[in-house]
Structure 1
Amino acid sequence: MSKQKSKTYLGQLAEQADRLFRGQAIEQYAAICYMRMPDSIKVLLITSRQSGRWVIPKGWAMDRRAPHQVAEREAWEEAGIRGKARKKPFGYYTYLKMLDTGDRVASVVQVHLVEVSAMDVEFREKGQRSFVWLPPHEAATLVREPELKGLLGQVEAVLSKRKKSKTAGPG
């Protein structure tokens, strides 16, 4: 087993801490796509094209697009999801991005909640990924990144709190 493989994921990420603190990490934008069901909330996980591990739609900055708009675009390109992203970030996570060169670099991902309004049958990466809709806590068990696990674990509580505050009348 190679030395890189024998280290835990957290150990590999910790080796990148110096770069993170010097601002040398790459930045990406992502979407936690969700649907409100009659008695629950479901979130979308997709597989990465290279490793097949469970992830959320994410991508690079785009000219003339705000981060939440990039999250919406990535959700459509990677999973055919149409929806409205919240402008305010839901949170951030870091992970090790494998570059085409084979090098790994730390990436800081700004995550936006995207409420699904439609799912297109035809989209850019159709057939290149698998996807699954799960309760947020189940989805959290399938992703590798610890901070993303934490964000997924907060989805239900945050969305139910917001729903209650919107439906509560003046006191």
Structure 2
Amino acid sequence: MNVTYLDEIVTDKRIELPNGKIRQVAALVYRTKKSKTEILLVTSRGTGRWVLPKGWPQVRKTFAQSARTEAYEEAGARGDVAPFSIGTYTYKKSDMCDGENGDFIVDVFPMHFSRQEKNWPERGQRRIEWMSVAAAAECVDEPELRELIASFDPAILDLH
């Protein structure tokens, strides 16, 4: 697991890296139930694929804080987010406007689940489901994300 601290405050939500990829953030929301780790996945609004809650970095927040906000907005999840990324994955978005870059790299921040709100901004727009680590890895399409989830071990984190 490659841990990367990204604790700077975001000044622009659209961050293009030198390799041309656009940076986004995701929350890997997890909990332990009966000694087993579970991962929270959500469906994307467009295609209905299983994904982690993710989105744009938010101005005046850190990348980790932005990931925590995505977990709340897309799944109603609350909890403690790590101040570091445990890895990245890439994906291509095909429904971009003409001339816009659809190549993304997503920094993944682990978030220890504490509770779920009764209402949240995207409730009813997505399905959410808790899955075992193996099942969650199997459900996502992106190979790098599949590997990141499959190798996730909360025992090495100090969030709870």
TM over 0.5: yes
Corresponding residue number in structure 2 for 1:95:
91
Matched, 1:129 2:126: yes
| 1:108 equivalent in structure 2 | 105
Alpha-carbon distance in structure 1 between the residues aligned to 2:85 and 2:58: 17
Higher-RCO chain (CA-CA 8 Å, sequence separation at least 6):
2
Which structure 2 residues correspond to residues 1-171 of structure 1 after superposition, within 5 A?
22-101=18-97, 105-155=102-152, 158-162=153-157
Q: Which has the higher strand share?
A: 2
| Residues 50 and 104 of structure 1: CA distance in aligned 2, closer, same or farther (over 3 Å) | farther
Instruction: Give the secondary structure class of the aligned counterpart of 1:46.
Output: strand
- Opposite residue 35 of structure 1, the aligned amino acid is R
1:98–1:104 contact (8 Å) kept in structure 2: no
**Distance of 2:101 and 2:133 partners within structure 1:** 28
Normalised by the size of structure 1, how large is the TM-score? 0.78
C-alpha RMSD of the superposition: 2.0
CA distance in 2, matches of 1:108, 1:84: 23
Provide the aligned length of Structure 1 versus Structure 2.
143
Matches of 1:98 and 1:62, distance apart in 2: 23
Q: Aligned with 1:98: secondary structure?
A: coil
Distance verdict in 2 for CA 1:144–1:36, change over 3 Å: same
Q: What percent identity do the matched residue pairs reach?
A: 35
State how far apart, in whole Å, the 2-side matches of 1:46 and 1:21 are: 27
Q: Deviations over 1:100-131 (max 9, x none)?
A: 42766110000000000110010000100001
- Equivalent residue, structure 2, for 1:14: none
Contiguous gaps of at least 5 residues in structure 1: 1-19, 167-171
User: Which structure 2 segments of 5+ residues have no match?
Assistant: 1-15
Higher share in helix: 1
When normalised by structure 2's length, the TM-score is 0.83
